[in-house]
Amino acid sequence: MNTSQARWRMLCFGRVQHVGFRYTAMYLAQKLYLTGWVKNQTDGSVLLEAQGNTAQLRKFYLQLKSQPHLHIEKAEITEIPVEMYERKFRVM
């Protein structure tokens, strides 16, 4: 099992606003013990950063993609530096 911490920045496009995306992301992240944040962008996309081990992050992304009320057409995922003192996942 991978226990090293990673942080992913995900910019998601598709049917991702006005469908509960941010609160679904928060719920799923909390279930997986991830930290980070999620917020809507003015262009209709959603930006989020999630932190945990790589296996948890993959599972988080797959769970987001499998939600029937969301439709992620495209996601740009970038690994970014870990934030050492972050303790929760929040909606911004």
Active site residues: 22, 40
75: helix, strand or coil? strand
Are 64 and 28 contacting, i.e. CB atoms less than 8 angstroms apart? yes
Q: Residue 35 has which token pair?
A: 């930290």
Residue given tokens 């209709």 in the structure block: 44
